[in-house]
Amino acid sequence: MMIKELASTKILNELTRRIEQEEWKSGQKLPSLAAVAKEFQVGVSTVREALRILENKGYILIEHGRGMFVRNPNCWKQETAWDLTRLSVGDMFSLQEFRAVLEPEMAALAAERATPGQMANIKAAASKMIEDVANNEDYFEADIAFHEYIAEACSNEVMAQVMKGISDLLLESRRKTTRIPGSAERAAHFHMLIALAIEQRNSALAKEMMKAHLQDVRQDSMKLKEGWLAAAELNPRKGRKDHDNNQRV
């Protein structure tokens, strides 16, 4: 997983450089997803992560069926108080505490306000994650999309933007907890339970299922922390290094 993370970062930095130095000019169509993956010799999902970040930052516009286009520099987002993509939370528990406050309420709102199309998107993302996990494939995209779809279904632009802003933090958090055996399977199961509660317009159940899901994630994080502490006792230098690396969300 560390190799994939570094590859994604490398691609993001290189694509950003090409745009900022106008190797790809405003309005220009970018190479296809497959072409970029071939150039960097990585999987399509790795490239998709970098492109999603570029889109969130306003560097590119992705139009389904047409392709990807460089946006005018005036559209590029500068770091502001609302730009959470570079927020340093210090450790996973700060992120989880934030999510525990916000996401159960969002699930309840989604159950009350979601359109049929939004419900379908939420359920489709849950189903895709179950399928990806069962096939031992990269499920991170479906995982993050699930939570973003719920935020969009709240009909609250601030909530939707906040969830998009922390999507990179969610991705890093998931990459860490997935090391716990059974973590991905449990998360996928909870996602479907939440999706079904939203589909049934059962806001109380959706809220409780999201609470249970986030509590399960927190328990996995505690297991990771216990592992770091145990490693530190056996090998203080290595344990300290592993702990520091894993604290960087």
CATH 1.10.10.10 corresponds to the domain 2-75: yes
Cα-Cα-Cα-Cα dihedral sign, residues 172, 177, 181, 183: negative
What is the pLDDT tens value at each position of the chain, 249 positions in all? 333 445 677 888 899 999 999 999 999 999 999 999 999 988 887 888 788 888 888 899 988 788 999 999 988 876 544 444 444 434 567 788 889 999 999 999 999 999 999 999 999 999 999 999 999 888 888 898 899 999 999 999 888 888 877 777 777 777 777 778 899 999 999 999 999 999 999 999 999 999 999 999 888 878 776 654 455 556 655 444 444 444 433
CATH 1.20.120.530 corresponds to the domain 92-247: yes
pTM of the model: 0.62
What is the maximum span of the chain, computed from C-alpha positions, in angstroms? 56
| CATH 1.20.120.530 in the chain, residue ranges | 92-247
Specify the long-range contacts of residues 13-22, CB closer than 8 Å, at least 24 apart.
14/40, 15/50, 15/51, 15/54, 15/59, 16/54, 16/59, 19/54, 19/59, 19/60, 19/70
- Do 151 and 160 meet the contact criterion of CB atoms below 8 Å apart? yes
Phi, psi of 136 (to 5 degrees): 55, 40
| CATH 1.10.10.10 in the chain, residue ranges | 2-75
Closest among 188, 97, 116, 105 to 145, alpha carbons compared: 188
